[in-house]
Each structure stands twice: as C-alpha cells, then as structure tokens.
Chains A and B, each alone.
Chain A
C-alpha cells in the first residue's frame, strides 16, 4: 500500500506534517469504528481494519526513519534488518566513543554534564545524517537510494543511543 497516496500527499521525504495530520484526522473521522457502532458486524469489521490501516500509515509517515524506509520500499529498495557490517571507520569510532561516554555517566561525579555532552553529540550527528538522507532521497536515483539505505542504518544507531541515554537519565532521577 502506498501511504503517500492514501493521504494524497507528495511522495517525498520532506513532508508537511501539519497537512499530514489534518488529512489523517479527516480520514479517521470517516472510518473510525465509532461511526459504525450500529452497523452490521461485517461493516464494523471492515471499519476496524480500515482504521487500523490508516493508523499504521500515519505512524509510518510521521516518523522520519519509517517514512524514509517506506519511500525506499516503494522504490524497490529494502532495508535489510540483519546485521551488516559498516566499512565507515569514522562512524564506527564515533559509536564506540559515544558508548564509552554513556557507560561513564552513572559513575561520574557530574553525570548531568556528561548527559548534556552526549545529547549534544547525538543530536548533532542525527541532524547531519537526516540532512544527508533528505538529499539522497530527493535525488531519486538508484545509487543515491542505496546511500539513503546506508544512512538509515546509521541513523538507527543514533536513535538507539538516544533511547539508552533517556533510560540512563530516568535511572538517575529515580
């Protein structure tokens, strides 16, 4: 299913999220099962499935990583979820340093300073990669699409690091 088509928005990475949200609510207003509370059983079931599709589509387009993956899938490029080794040594070094930084936080005398530092580095890298991703996807060329797939894999590592950082922060607060 082409989610961009479903919401009638242009099939591109740079999306107007406000417009997407408006379209989404409009569709849900029509297809939410609540509209079918007195309908026949079959129609109620259809409505549940339809509303679930709409929710899933919205979920996938709202988040940049999932949106990029969907865009690539429509172009026939699949992101392999299996472990694939990275040849980019700069990226690998960066990951190792950030991991060490995260490991130090809980033992540090000033953990919040380290959190801020990690947060800043992660945000910076994410921003940079997202920019590169937008650029690669906009080109709409096979070799650029493969590059985009690579960037998505890298971004996932940063999103994961950010999640771990949040957990550490919570641990500190509790």
Chain B
C-alpha cells in the first residue's frame, strides 16, 4: 500500500525572511503546538518535556495553572479545575444543562452564555481557552526564540458560527494573530497529503476526546476540496469513559457519586480503556465507600459497552458519503485522527466499513497540529512556491426565520466558502416600517430546532403598501467560516448590518473589556498593543500599495499616482510615530485614495490569470 508522507523536501526560506508561525490543535482533551523548522513540521515541547498539554485549566485564588499541573489537581480541587472546556465553547447555558452527563463544576448563566464559577470568580469558556492558547504560544515563542507572527488554530469541521467565533475571540484574548481557522480533518489531510501527488477521495475519521468528525475530501492536483463534513459535536472518547463509569457504578451498586469520586472513576475508566487497547483483559481495584472492589474487564466486554457509540460514528460516515455523492468504493484512503482511534474496536469497524486499512503512520494525536503548522507556514509567507489551495465548505446551513416559525435556508451546508448569497424579502403589512431578522444555523425546518445566531432589526423602512418594500438580505461567510449579515431596503437604501455573534457569543465590546481586565494586559500594555497593531497594519498597507504601484503603475493617471505617492510617504513617516490615532487616520486615507486602484487591479488580474492559462496551452 502506498503510504502518504509528510513531504516538504528542500524547504528552506532565507533566514531573514523566515517569519515565526505555529499551528495549534486546541483539543477537547489535549492541545498541541507545532511549527515548521528546516522544512519539517514538528510538535514543540514545553519546559517539562511534553508536547501534549492536557486542555485543563485550574484557577487558584492567586494563580492560573494550565496543563499537567492543573490536571493533577482535578480530583482534589474539582470545582476550580476545568477540563474539556471546548465542549462549552459558544454554547448557551440552557443547552449545556440539558446534556446527559453532568460536569463536575459549578456552571452559571452569564447572559445566556455558559460560564464557570471558580476561585477567581466567574470565568467563561473563551477566557479558559485563551489560557491554554497563551500557554502553547509561550512554548512556541520560547522554543523558537521570538514572537509569533501568526497562528493557525484548528476547529472541528462541525463547529458552527458561534463556536468558531468563540475560538477566534479566545485567540484575540491570548494576544495571538489568527491567520486562519482550519478544520481539523483538513489539517490532518494536509499533514498526510500535501505535495505527495496522491489523488482521490479521502475519508478523515477523527474521534477525539469530545468530538467526532468525519470529512470526505477530494485531493486533486494539490487542491483539497471538502466534499462533505459530518459527525457529532458531542461524541468522543469521553463518552467511552462515561460508558465505563456507568458499568463501574453498576458493579459497585453506588447510585450517587460525589464530584471527587466521579473524577476518580473517570481516571480509572481512562486507564482501563488504554490498557485494553493493547491487552485482552485488565484487572483493577475500584475504590468505593465500603473499600476497594477487585474487578476485571475483558476487551469483548468493553467492546459491547462502547459498540453503540462506535456504531453512531459509522452511521455518520454513511451519511457523509451520501452527502458527498460517493460510494465506499471511491474512498482511496482513510486517515485516522484522535487518540480514541487507538481503540481496537474503532479501527476494526472503520476498516470494515470503508473496506480499506486506515492510515496511521503519523501519530493520530499529533497529525492535526502538524497539518496546522504546515498551513501556518504557508500563510505567513515562508513558502514562496506554495500553490496549495485549500477549499473549505460551510458545515451547517445558514438561514432566516420566515412566517410560521420556519427557516428559509440562504446558504446550504457544504457550500464552498468564502461565499456571499442574497435573498429578497418583502413587508407583509401596509405601512410596515421595520423588519426583524432572525439568523439561524442548522439543518432542521423549524426555528426551534436550529441554533439561533443573531436577531436584529432593520428600521426606518419608508411606509409602503404590503409587498412594496424590497429588502435584500446578504449573508457573507469568510474563509474562516464566520458569518456577517447585511440587510438593505432597495428603494430607500436604508441598511443594517451585523457581525453575527450575539445570541451565543460575546460582543466585540465584551471581548475588549475582557482583554482590558485580564491580568496580562495592564492599561499601558493595552495601549501599546493597539499601537503595535496599527503600526503593523500601516506597514502592511505601505508594502501592499508600494508593490501595487511598481507592478501596475500603468493603470494610474499621473495625478492619481502623485496623490497616492504623497499618501504613502505620509503613512511611512507616521508609522514610526507613537500616535495611534494619527497612524489609523493615515491608513484610512491611503485605503480611501487607493480603493479604485485596488478594484482595477483585481479586475485586471482576473483577466490575466486566465490569459496566462491560454498562453500556456498554445
């Protein structure tokens, strides 16, 4: 069998050009950071010598602990030790409370959002995730000897808008520049498939601690096209552990478990699961209120406990193949991702379903971080000859509420992003001057069954007869899968727009407040950070416009050119200063003056892109 390999031969950028970039796998159970050095993507180790950092954060009265040291306190200090926080990202309080498995800490309702009561007060999932991200970024900058220019963070393909937005907010809070949010299975495929010349349909089966994703990708001429994604954002190895805990409870006859003994049971369950991956049966002692209970579990027994869960993943595989319009026979490769794919039953059922031996040559725990690092290296500009195109799709349909509590889909799932789609609506009452828009995500027909993303109003519509007003609602989804919505009444030009984040997300103001109030950023630091951001943006604009002029000066009139050059030299001068507002004004001015030029260049390059193609063919 032809194995795919990580192939980045002879990749070495000149040292002075090399920018520091990292890929981060922000996992439910463990998180990793990786980077490309001397052409090879590798995970990075922290000062304790670990590359896999448990996604656990502990808040004590005067300190924050992340990783192994926090995990060690999980049993003794359950209320302040937060694990699997990824499950809470972008979720509502009520939604989390309705999950079958109870979480061992105090959850509170923070304006509809779920948050956790800790020794340092109420912490929301974005803040907890930011601690993990900051720790990983620290490891990276210490190992690499410099600050990171940008990071690629992976998210489950199934993450909806609110969950993606929350992840991006966490990065912002940790002071990181996000180059791209990348779907985990796509990252795994990148780790295996890039530049290998391998073509065909690939299934990425990712069973992590808390999420299951199945992605059907097509690799063609170095292009990754996601044909379909599916899965279950609340199914993973944690559920195997819970299934074992339930079994343990049956054996001991204990009906109620304290937080502490639930922790103990979960740790034991993990141990049993890991042992049974390599041996046929395992004996252990279960601590109970009446003393230790000697028990043993065989692999067959474990298999029967988790079979319903694994079957659920296979059903999702079936559905995704159907969505992708491919048969099992078409699947050339199966990539296994996530520590839970070490469970023998998972491997055998996956192999049986796809009728193919899955790829496992890269450590399933590290493959996502490695793929993210490869992509980060490309995006930051270290790989000048890169012509990999990474096309992603939107995982869940986006729509609007219409009459009768129904959802009208504007962008169906599996549409390639970025995408912009518009739909026209009209008023249904005479003289109606306002319209309420309710943005939803999900596959079901009823509003009640979909995720509510945002609600906003378009007001000041001129009064007209029913059906007279034409309201055009445009959904735009960027390459990270994040949605923005604009609405406009066509005859009057009245418009309203929204960066979708309210119902289950934090507003920009909330994020800013969180940054300000976090211990990491005193007010002075905050101002410095804003200045730095503007300085970086100023140099980006200066570089971009300068390059544009030297390439396409012929598209400009003499007067235009002069005006632009003046703006550029002003911008250059100001960018050295420490006047944040003046720099921003100079950026805005330069952008404004060059808007036409940029549009002309875009049109021109579209024509050229294809003309080049024709010349090649001749």
State the A residues within 8 Å of B (CB).
Answer: 6-8, 23, 25-34, 37-43, 46, 48-53, 55-56, 58-59, 170
- Known contacts A30-B609, A38-B379, A56-B419: A43-B544 contact under CB 8 Å: yes
- Chain B contacts for A49, CB-based, 8 A: 418, 420, 476
Query: 6 additional contacts, CB 8 Å, given A30-B606, A37-B379?
Result: A6-B606, A23-B613, A27-B609, A37-B380, A38-B179, A52-B417
B610 touches A34 (CB 8 A): no
- Known contacts A26-B613, A50-B602: A33-B478 contact under CB 8 Å: yes
User: Can you list 28 A-B contacts with CB-CB less than 8 angstroms, sorted by A residue number?
Assistant: A7-B610, A8-B610, A25-B221, A25-B223, A26-B610, A32-B389, A33-B418, A33-B479, A34-B378, A34-B379, A37-B179, A37-B180, A37-B380, A38-B150, A39-B544, A40-B544, A40-B591, A42-B598, A43-B598, A46-B602, A48-B418, A49-B418, A49-B476, A52-B417, A55-B415, A55-B416, A55-B418, A58-B416
- Least CB distance from B594 to A in Å reads 8
CA–CA, A48 to B390, complex, Å? 14
What are the 10 closest A-B residue pairs judged by CB atoms, nearest first? A37-B379, A52-B420, A33-B479, A40-B541, A40-B540, A52-B418, A42-B591, A8-B610, A37-B179, A30-B609
A23 touches B419 (CB 8 A): no
- Least CB distance from A39 to B in Å reads 6
Give chain A's interface secondary structure class. helix
B420 touches A56 (CB 8 A): yes
- Chain A contacts for B149, CB-based, 8 A: 38
- Least CB distance from B540 to A in Å reads 4
B311 within 8 A of A: no
Among B381, B387, B476, point to the contact of A52 (Cβ < 8 A). Answer: B476
- Least CB distance from B476 to A in Å reads 7
Interface-centre pick from B179, B379, B390, B587 (highest chain A CB count, 10 A):
B379
CA–CA, A72 to B605, complex, Å? 28
- Chain B contacts for A37, CB-based, 8 A: 150, 179-180, 379-381
A30 touches B605 (CB 8 A): yes
- Chain A contacts for B223, CB-based, 8 A: 25
Among A23, A41, A48, A53, point to the contact of B479 (Cβ < 8 A). Answer: A48
Interface size on B, residues (CB 8 A): 42
- Chain B contacts for A39, CB-based, 8 A: 540, 544
- Chain B contacts for A7, CB-based, 8 A: 610
- Least CB distance from A73 to B in Å reads 15
- Least CB distance from A149 to B in Å reads 20
A55 touches B417 (CB 8 A): yes
- Chain B contacts for A56, CB-based, 8 A: 419-421
- Known contacts A38-B380, A59-B415: A27-B610 contact under CB 8 Å: yes
Chain B, residues 397-430, CB within 8 Å of chain A (1/0): the string is 0000000000000000001111111000000000
- Chain A contacts for B476, CB-based, 8 A: 48-49, 52
Chain B, residues 203-228, CB within 8 Å of chain A (1/0): the string is 00000000000000000010100000
B391 touches A28 (CB 8 A): yes
Chain B, residues 528-552, CB within 8 Å of chain A (1/0): the string is 0000000001001100100000000
- Least CB distance from B492 to A in Å reads 24
- Which residue of chain B is the closest to A33 with respect to CB atoms? B479
A34 touches B387 (CB 8 A): no
CA–CA, A26 to B380, complex, Å? 21
CA–CA, A30 to B614, complex, Å? 16
A52 touches B544 (CB 8 A): no
B599 within 8 A of A: yes
- Which residue of chain A is the closest to B152 with respect to CB atoms? A37
- Chain B contacts for A31, CB-based, 8 A: 602, 605-606, 609
- Chain B contacts for A8, CB-based, 8 A: 610, 614
- Least CB distance from B568 to A in Å reads 12
- Least CB distance from B328 to A in Å reads 15
- Least CB distance from A17 to B in Å reads 14
- Least CB distance from A49 to B in Å reads 7
CA–CA, A90 to B595, complex, Å? 56
Interface-centre pick from A28, A29, A34 (highest chain B CB count, 10 A):
A34
- Chain B contacts for A48, CB-based, 8 A: 418, 476, 478-479
B537 touches A29 (CB 8 A): no
